Amino acid sequence: MTRSDNNNLLKGDRLTRKLDVVATRLRDLFGTPARKRKLPDPLELLVATILSQNTNDVNSHKAYVNLKTKYPDFMDLAGVRAGEIERLIKIGGIAKKKSITIVRVVREIRRRFPRFNRRHLKSEERNSLIDRLRELDGVGYKTACCVSLFALGDDDAFPVDTHVHRVLNRIGVVNEKTPDKTYLAVRDFIPPGKGYEIHINLIRFGRKVCTAQRPGCSQCVLFDVCNWKEKSLQVSERAASANEEKVRFMLLEEV
């Protein structure tokens, strides 16, 4: 074994141990999230994920409902012009860009995937499916992993969004500059079957405690293991109110 192999093993070992501490404490804090009984359709989930970009859950859900009401079968979106759906999804923001992406993605899916349903997608090996989905223009690691985790019920998939990226880097589980790099650094270290739990609890934590602005470090269950240089025991008013508000999330699962 070379020195570099050895260093990688040590790095992987540290990452595994820290991730385990994070997962355990967040489970103590939030519990083990329960999955919905009925998994969403893969194409509907994919479209919902595109709609959720750069907006809040409430508005992206409204945009989704508008689109679904007019086009109950999203495969039909392959035959419409982007301009036709732009006004339907306007409430979700950057509608022009999203409408172009959605129509293009659905057209590509029709061309490249003979069947885009759960049974067929599930038969593919996870990383190869994620790579195939990423070949669709406008689909990145996060969206591809969301399809795998939420629509295929793959508990080993682990989408990394801005919340997950921010929290894992502040704590020091990884030291990466972008969500994609964070995903690539952690994906092989997620304990088997724990992708759903860790993903959901990190998002809860990132929205309620370790917020982007003025995180609630003073009440944080991870304070002692967190590497963030700016962590502080001073109570943040904003963090306190964030804890009290009803946090709505994961509408993706409800599509």
Identify the residue among 89, 160, 164, 209 touching ligand SF4 (CB under 6 A): 209
List binders of ligand SF4 among 229-248 (CB under 6 A): 231
Nearest to 160 by CA among 148, 101, 123: 148
* 3-class SS of residue 47: helix
| Placement of tokens 């999230």 in the chain | 33
Question: Is residue 210 a contact residue for ligand SF4 (CB under 6 A)?
Answer: yes
- What is the footprint of ligand SF4 within residues 147-206 (CB under 6 A)? 170-171
Q: Do the Cβ atoms of 70 and 102 come closer than 8 Å?
A: no
Pick between residue 159 and residue 206 the one whose CB is nearest to ligand SF4: 206
Among 67, 109, 228, 253, interactor with ligand SF4 by CB under 6 A: 228
- Name which of 50 and 209 has its Cβ closer to ligand SF4: 209
Environment class of residue 24 by beta-carbon count within 10 Å: exposed (0-12), middle (13-18) or buried (19+)?
exposed
Under 8 Å between Cβ of 130 and 148? yes
User: Is the CB of 67 or the CB of 185 nearer to ligand SF4?
Assistant: 185
CB 206 → ligand SF4: shortest distance, Å? 8
Least distance in angstroms from the C-beta of 15 to ligand SF4: 16
CA distance 54 to 60: 9
Euclidean distance between CA atoms 178 and 140, whole angstroms: 12
For residue 30, state whether it binds ligand SF4 (rule: CB under 6 A): no
Under rule CB under 6 A, residue 63 binds ligand SF4: no
d(CA 53, CA 148): 18
Q: Which residues of the shown chain bind ligand SF4 in the complex (CB under 6 A)?
A: 170-171, 209-210, 215-217, 220, 222-223, 226, 228, 231
